[in-house]
Amino acid sequence: MLCDMQLGGLLGHLVPPFRPNSTTGEPTTRDTGTEATDAAHEEHVNTDDGDQGPIGATDNPEKRRSTVREIVIVVACVLLLTWVLQTFIGRQYVIPSESMEPTLHGCAGCSNDHIVIDKLAYRFGDPKPGDVVVFNAPTESWEGGWTSRRSSNVVIKGVQDGFSWFGFAPPDEYNLVKRVIATGGQTVACKNADGRGVTVDGKPLREPYIDTALQADTAAGTPTSCYGTDFGPITVPDGNVWVMGDNRLSSADSRAHITDELNGTVPVSEIRGKVRFIVFPLSRIGGMDVVNPQP
């Protein structure tokens, strides 16, 4: 309908109706050549809202309001979707240190790995040996002097928390990434003297993810079977896990916190998710393989 009306209007300008000759009374027409074409460019036509304006005029308040509403709705939907994803489904983290080498890369001045965790992984199940997980520091001994970066100003802190909800700022907690070695009810230990390495329920682990070239015991000059000092036996409480870094000599993991109230274990409730993917750098993109070290 709009096209028809516009076409009719344009034709009305280009081919005007017959008018009688003022002298003879006979019908006559205007020249429809160049003069008519030029005139058509200068004419005004009806705009959509009935106002007179130049062809192509867009000064329409209702259209502007509609566009603004659409933009607001799109932005709100994007923020809502981002919040749902970050809160319930997954979140991205950056690996800051070498404690999980060679599985996850991280060091000062490196192209640190960016990982994505699955927050749904343990809503319907429990962590399994071999899972690589991100968790919140369960006790102060894990924090290593960490302090909150949030402002003391209530308003600014609220803005920072809001950014965190949408993934634009880190959460206000100290997060770590390690590998699950033992779960609730299992007993973990390591004695260098027996040369068996880490054992769970008396059985030595198979740990292909450890790069022995990275492990150098500076006291003995060669790697020891525990890649560090003796520990255990420690029985993991139900609902907790025992975690260790793949780079054993550069990881402050459960072994370093045996004297705290949880004996170095981590409550499952503090686990934020299971590492699923490396998404950056491009040369490292890929899924996270789960290797169960227990025989």
Separation between Cα atoms, residue 143 and residue 139, nearest integer Å? 7
Report whether 215 contacts 248 (CB < 8 A).
Answer: yes
- Which of helix, strand or coil describes residue 221? coil
Separation between Cα atoms, residue 271 and residue 133, nearest integer Å? 7
**Which structure tokens are listed for 196?**
């068996």
Active-site annotation holds for 151: no
Active-site annotation holds for 178: yes
- Which of helix, strand or coil describes residue 68? helix
φ, ψ dihedrals at 61, nearest 5°: -55, -40
Report whether 47 contacts 63 (CB < 8 A).
Answer: no
In 134-153, which positions are buried (b, 16+ CB within 10 angstroms) versus exposed (e)? bbbbbeebbeeeeeeeeeee
φ, ψ dihedrals at 221, nearest 5°: 90, -15
Q: Which residue among 97, 99, 251, 254 is the active-site one? A: 99
Q: Which residue among 22, 141, 151, 178 is the active-site one? A: 178
Separation between Cα atoms, residue 70 and residue 291, nearest integer Å? 48
Would you name the residues annotated as active-site residues?
Answer: 99, 178
